[in-house]
Amino acid sequence: MTIDRRRFLLRSGLGAVGAFAALSGSGDADADVTLPVSGNDATLGPVPFEGRHQAGILTALPPAAAFLALDVIAEDRSTLTDLFRTVTARARYLTAGGVPPDLGTASPPSDSGTLGADVPADALTVTLGVSSSLFDDRFALATRRPIRLTTMRAFPNDGLNPDWLGGDLMLQLCAGSTDTVLHALRDITRHTRGAMQVRWRMDGFISPPRPTGLPRNHLGFMDGIANPDVTNPKIADQLLWVVKGHGEPAWAVGGSYHVIRLIRMFTEFWDRVSLHVQQATIGRYRASGAPLGMTSYTDIPDYAKDRHGYDVPLTAHMRLANPRTAITEPSRILRRGYNYDLGVDVNGTLNMGLVFNCFQQDLLRQFEATQTRLVDEPLADYIRPFGGGYFFALPGVRNSEDWLGRGLMQA
Ligand code: HEM
User: What is the tens place of the pLDDT at every residue in 71-122?
Assistant: 999 999 999 999 999 999 999 999 999 999 999 999 999 999 999 999 999 9
Residues 144 and 31 in one domain: no
Q: Is the CB of 390 under 6 A from ligand 1?
A: no
Domain count, the chain: 2
49, part of any domain = no
Mutate which of 259, 317, 352 to test ligand 1's pocket (most atoms within 8 Å of Cβ)?
Answer: 317
Residues 170 and 29 in one domain: no
Distance CA 56, CA 88 (A): 14
CB burial class (10 A; 0-12, 13-18, 19+) of residue 12? exposed
12, part of any domain = yes
Return the biggest CA–CA distance within the chain: 76
Residues 33 and 81 in one domain: no
Predicted confidence at residue 243, as pLDDT, reads 98
Distance CA 105, CA 16 (A): 33
> Rounded to 5, what percent of the chain is helix, strand, coil?
30, 20, 50
The pLDDT of residue 17 is above 60 = no
Residues 24 and 79 in one domain: no
43, part of any domain = no
Residues 99 and 34 in one domain: no
Predicted confidence at residue 36, as pLDDT, reads 67
Residues 110 and 2 in one domain: no
Distance CA 265, CA 384 (A): 6
Peptide bond into 211 cis (omega under 30): yes
- Residue 263 Cα: closest atom of ligand 1: 1
User: What is the tens place of the pLDDT at every residue in 110-127?
Assistant: 999 999 999 999 999 999
Residues 127 and 251 in one domain: yes
User: What is the tens place of the pLDDT at every residue in 273-293?
Assistant: 999 999 999 999 999 999 999
Q: Is the CB of 256 under 6 A from ligand 1?
A: no
User: What is the tens place of the pLDDT at every residue in 186-213?
Assistant: 999 999 999 999 999 999 999 999 999 9
Give whole-number Cα distances, 278 to 59, 215, 239, 289, in Å: 31, 18, 30, 12
Q: Is the CB of 259 under 6 A from ligand 1?
A: no
Residues 368 and 246 in one domain: yes
Distance CA 304, CA 187 (A): 52
Q: Which residues pair with 222 in a beta bridge?
A: 216
pLDDT category of residue 15 using cuts at 50, 70 and 90:
very low
Predicted confidence at residue 28, as pLDDT, reads 55
Q: Is 260 helix (H, G, I), strand (E, B) or coil?
A: strand
Distance from first CA to last CA of the chain, Å, rounded? 65
The pLDDT of residue 25 is above 90 = no
Residues 98 and 27 in one domain: no
Distance CA 350, CA 347 (A): 9
Q: Strand pairing of 350-360 and 256-265? A: antiparallel
Structural domain including 24 reads: 1-38
56, part of any domain = no
pLDDT category of residue 4 using cuts at 50, 70 and 90:
very low
Residues 263 and 133 in one domain: yes
Predicted confidence at residue 3, as pLDDT, reads 35
Residues 169 and 308 in one domain: yes
59, part of any domain = no
